[in-house]
Chain A
Amino acid sequence: MLSRRNFLWSSGASLALSGFPVHGWTKELPRGRVVVIVLEGGMDGLAAVPPLGDTDLHQMRGELITSAPIALNPFFGLHPSLGGFGRMLHNGEAAIVHATAFPYTKRSHFEGQNVVQSGNMVPFASKSGWLGRALEFAGLPGRALSMDMPLISRGEADVDNYYPASIRGSTKPSATLTNLLSAYHSEQISKVFDKIAAKNALKEGPVARDNVSLAKYAGAKMALDEGPAAAVITLGEFDTHADQRADNGRHHRQLSKVDDILLGFKTGLKDRWKDTVILTLTEFGRTVKVNGSTGTDHGYGSAGLLAGGLLKGGAVISQWPGLRKKDLFEERDLQSSIDYRSVCAACLEKAYGLDHDLIANNIFQSPRLPRFYNHLFV
């Protein structure tokens, strides 16, 4: 039998669910659901969605172009390891935004990851994340299910998280014990012991270790009326400095995990799929040129993959900046011609019914953030 340690944690991916409605909710619950798949390390948009119609592509990175792309339109192809996503696109329930990024250009993983999760353009300046703040504005600052809350889903207010422990041969603490610890400790830690005391014993079965099951599980939770309004799946190892290759390399194994996760969510969400939008989020794209080890180094512009029944769907949305040296950011990276914050904002607007100006002002602190809603949802 699988141990509970593997709960919410499969091969290389971890899950956090948040925005469970607070008990005793009286208003009508919003139906919309947002899933963010965080691709850590820098996803190569040019490998996932190669612009095959751009004649410079072959010259710049011939050995990284897949030999069997799925044709999307005369210009863009899709990597075959995203076959499931390709079918969603065909059915009009997915979209791609290409040549896009958060306007962060310094190519550090840790600053970049912090920026794309916090939604604050100054690295390490914010203790909360854009998704967490959106849940608060939507009135859903409930509990979260994860061992460590990813920054993106942290709100300004304190959110309780839970994640069943598995330490054999131990006894669950009694309320007396946690009350004693709560009374003794200083405020911040004291609150935590109160939460342990208040937590209901969870009767969760184990979840299988693969990504599909993890996503199905999350989808099924989100399908419930009182289920979580947001899920964040973190998937690492996109930092393919070496051995990225064209077909069976490291990057493409990661892309098939994304494909599995998308399909898993669709299965798990059932009817709720039509109220859901899923989007990928990565700190930056990768260099256009191949490096010395069939890989790529840190870049700027990348692609965003979106799926879910809320989308108008079916299209690759891009203002293609070109791949000639003079077209590239600092003569090396794909430019970003669409601010990805606008894409995130549009998803929040659609799923949680928040006003664009509120999102721009209060969630991304950028009053002039362009509204991208019509490209995705109308």
Chain B
Amino acid sequence: MRLMHRVGFGYNPNETLDKDEVGQAISQLESPAPRVGLRKFNQMEKLPEPWPDEHIYDLQTRVKFASDYRKEKERIEESLYLSKTDKSKLKNRNKRKHRIDFYDRLAFVHQAIYGADPVRQRFIHFWINHFTIGDTNGTRIYMGHLYQDVIGNGIDGYFNDLTYEVTRHPAMLTYLDNVYSVGENSIRAKKNKNKNKQLGLNDNLARELMELHTVSPLAAYSEEDIHNAAKILAGWGDVFNHKEYAKHFREAGISDMNDAYFKRRAEPGTKIVMGVVYPSGKKALRLFVNDLARSKFTIDFLSRKLCVHFITDTPDIEDIQYVANSWRRSNGFLPAVHKAVIERAALASSPKLQWPLTWALALARVSGGTLFYGWEDVFQGVHTKGESKVRKIMEELGQNFWSRRQPDGFSVYGEDWISSEHMERRILLSSMMFKHGKPDSNLDAMIARAGATEATIKLINQAKTKEEKFILLACSKDMMGDV
């Protein structure tokens, strides 16, 4: 499998094949490409255009949309005059107006297929999965911002900064319940007027920050460490999609939604986690995350995980050490870490089975076939013969990044994705793309872009129809990978 498939989404029909794949892959890490996509599924010229500004939403707008959506929904539900059909019509309109996750999903897949920075996108997908957010408690409106802006930009910097930004993001604070956590000795808890409602800590985010996002159970921390970490986190966030959010935030003096620290909810005093003393107040989280990010357990755990995802299910110790060394030397500077991953992936001879979604996006990119709606199609309710809705395709492939899921994310092991059902879906999706997505009619050119081996070419030559040849290339080791 060629490097551009291991660490990218392959070459599209307009890209020139570079002899120096390694250099090309690394250069994509360095500069983010503009956001692009297709306007319409059925357009004649498949030239991507800049993603429309009106469909890029900042955090402030998202928080406001979430609260407006809620207010409007309640208003419709409580109305005494509307008929059942009218209510459902208005509810749908409200969804389209305020629930912008449709656009986030589209932008996500279009960038992988049409963008000039597929390698960069692959690393973004890795970190999105590492810092998994599930669709619960209204997180979906914030997920696109976390994916595109926070992680999308965060991979240009240091791991500790990325972790800090992700940890205090509304999507994470909501998904892992920190928005409900209140220090037991906080001003808020002491002035609690409602005696039936006890206020206190919630350790969900603290636990996963340590177990899944950084040091992992290798660090052998105690239950008390988790509890104290929860004390550090208390105060970060309040219910973001509350209809009275504006008032809450104004009263707490918060203008930046990504810096929502509510002093009244914080646990006073110093805190000790894994033997380190942290001061009271807002700065403790920053210091705590820095320590977690610097830990040797984090470096070992994540160097291995990167190698498993990009190189092979059972990476050599040399691969892991090479990445870990780069991590240590650069202090967790992600472009340097990712560069090390690419350098090792370039030398790899062991096979790696790609995620179903990675494979599908690569197939669309390499074949030039259309797989998803354009942004104009979305609100016009356009139906095409192929399954063009992003959510449906992600679900069918068993890999929806906007689904309800557990915080450990999708498995990075190729072996976990082998089953007759998964493989049959790959055949069916290839068949659908051939029939409806108008892929490049020049199969030989596609074979060359995919870097197909002799064995693959021999396989393709045994098929009789064009569709079968297309499917065989799509399901080859060069496109799909192997274990």
Q: Is A156 an interface residue when CB atoms closer than 8 A count as contact? A: no
Q: Is A10 an interface residue when CB atoms closer than 8 A count as contact? A: no
Q: B432-483: which residues lie under 8 A (CB-CB) from chain A?
A: 432, 435-436, 455-456, 459, 462-463, 467-468, 471-472, 475-477, 482-483
Which residues of chain B come closer than 8 Å to A176, judged between CB atoms?
468
Q: Distance in Å from the Cβ of A179 to the closest Cβ of chain B? A: 10
Chain B residue at smallest Cβ distance from A64 = B198
Please pick, from A166, A174, A195, A236, the residue contacting B406 in the complex, using a CB distance under 8 A: A236
B377-399 contact mask (Cβ, 8 Å, vs A): 1 or 0 = 00000000111000010011010
Do A148 and B419 form a contact, CB below 8 Å, given A167-B432, A170-B429? yes
Please pick, from B217, B420, B421, B435, the residue contacting A169 in the complex, using a CB distance under 8 A: B435
CA distance A26 to B197 in the complex (A): 63
Chain B residue at smallest Cβ distance from A12 = B404
A255-294 contact mask (Cβ, 8 Å, vs B): 1 or 0 = 0000000000000000000000000000000000011111
Please pick, from B202, B419, B468, B477, the residue contacting A149 in the complex, using a CB distance under 8 A: B419
Do A107 and B223 form a contact, CB below 8 Å, given A147-B421, A161-B420? yes
Please pick, from A168, A186, A192, A241, the residue contacting B423 in the complex, using a CB distance under 8 A: A192
CA distance A330 to B429 in the complex (A): 52
Which residues of chain B come closer than 8 Å to A199, judged between CB atoms?
420
Q: Is B151 an interface residue when CB atoms closer than 8 A count as contact? A: no
Q: Is B207 an interface residue when CB atoms closer than 8 A count as contact? A: yes
CA distance A42 to B477 in the complex (A): 40
Q: Distance in Å from the Cβ of A101 to the closest Cβ of chain B? A: 16
Chain B residue at smallest Cβ distance from A290 = B198
CA distance A12 to B134 in the complex (A): 13
Q: Is A24 an interface residue when CB atoms closer than 8 A count as contact? A: no
Bin the interface of chain B by size: 35 or more
Q: Is A184 an interface residue when CB atoms closer than 8 A count as contact? A: yes
Please pick, from B204, B427, B468, the residue contacting A239 in the complex, using a CB distance under 8 A: B204
Q: A165-204: which residues lie under 8 A (CB-CB) from chain B?
A: 165-174, 176-178, 180-181, 184-186, 188-189, 192-193, 195-196, 199
Q: Distance in Å from the Cβ of B231 to the closest Cβ of chain A? A: 11
Q: B345-367: which residues lie under 8 A (CB-CB) from chain A?
A: 351, 353
A78-115 contact mask (Cβ, 8 Å, vs B): 1 or 0 = 00000000000000000000000000001111110000
Which residues of chain A come closer than 8 Å to B419, judged between CB atoms?
147-149, 161, 192
Residue among A172, A184, A243, A290 with the most chain B CB within 10 A? A184
B204 & A177 in contact (Cβ 8 Å cutoff):
no
CA distance A169 to B432 in the complex (A): 5
Which residues of chain B come closer than 8 Å to A170, judged between CB atoms?
428-429, 431-432, 435
A186 & B386 in contact (Cβ 8 Å cutoff):
no
Which residues of chain A come closer than 8 Å to B201, judged between CB atoms?
291-292
Q: Distance in Å from the Cβ of A136 to the closest Cβ of chain B? A: 18
Please pick, from A172, A178, A185, A241, the residue contacting B202 in the complex, using a CB distance under 8 A: A241
B421 & A161 in contact (Cβ 8 Å cutoff):
yes
A169 & B177 in contact (Cβ 8 Å cutoff):
no
CA distance A139 to B128 in the complex (A): 43
Q: A124-173: which residues lie under 8 A (CB-CB) from chain B?
A: 147-149, 160-163, 165-173
Please pick, from A63, A174, A177, A192, the residue contacting B198 in the complex, using a CB distance under 8 A: A63
Q: Is B172 an interface residue when CB atoms closer than 8 A count as contact? A: no
Name the segment of B29-37, B178-186, B244-252, B299-307 touching the other chain: B178-186
Please pick, from B197, B408, B422, B427, the residue contacting A177 in the complex, using a CB distance under 8 A: B427
B189 & A292 in contact (Cβ 8 Å cutoff):
yes
A165 & B421 in contact (Cβ 8 Å cutoff):
yes
CA distance A345 to B274 in the complex (A): 39
Which residues of chain B come closer than 8 Å to A330, judged between CB atoms?
223
Q: Is B83 an interface residue when CB atoms closer than 8 A count as contact? A: no
Q: Is A297 an interface residue when CB atoms closer than 8 A count as contact? A: yes
Do A193 and B423 form a contact, CB below 8 Å, given A236-B406, A292-B180, A293-B177? yes
Which residues of chain B come closer than 8 Å to A195, judged between CB atoms?
420
Q: B140-182: which residues lie under 8 A (CB-CB) from chain A?
A: 176-177, 180-182
Q: Is B203 an interface residue when CB atoms closer than 8 A count as contact? A: yes
Which residues of chain A come closer than 8 Å to B459, judged between CB atoms?
180-181, 184
Do A188 and B420 form a contact, CB below 8 Å, given A107-B223, A241-B204, A292-B181? no
Which residues of chain A come closer than 8 Å to B95, judged between CB atoms?
none
Q: Is A40 an interface residue when CB atoms closer than 8 A count as contact? A: yes
Chain A residue at smallest Cβ distance from B198 = A290
A298 & B207 in contact (Cβ 8 Å cutoff):
yes
Q: Is B196 an interface residue when CB atoms closer than 8 A count as contact? A: yes
Which residues of chain A come closer than 8 Å to B404, judged between CB atoms?
12, 236-237
Name B residues whose Cβ lies closer than 8 Å to a Cβ of A: 136, 176-177, 180-182, 184, 189, 196-204, 207, 211-212, 217, 223, 351, 353, 385-387, 392, 395-396, 398, 404, 406-408, 415, 418-425, 427-429, 431-432, 435-436, 455-456, 459, 462-463, 467-468, 471-472, 475-477, 482-483
Top 5 nearest A-B pairs (CB, nearest first) are A292-B200, A293-B180, A170-B432, A170-B431, A170-B428
Contacts A147-B398, A165-B421 supplied; 16 other A-B pairs, CB < 8 Å: A5-B395, A110-B408, A148-B421, A149-B419, A161-B420, A173-B424, A177-B427, A177-B463, A177-B471, A189-B483, A196-B424, A236-B404, A237-B136, A241-B203, A243-B180, A292-B202
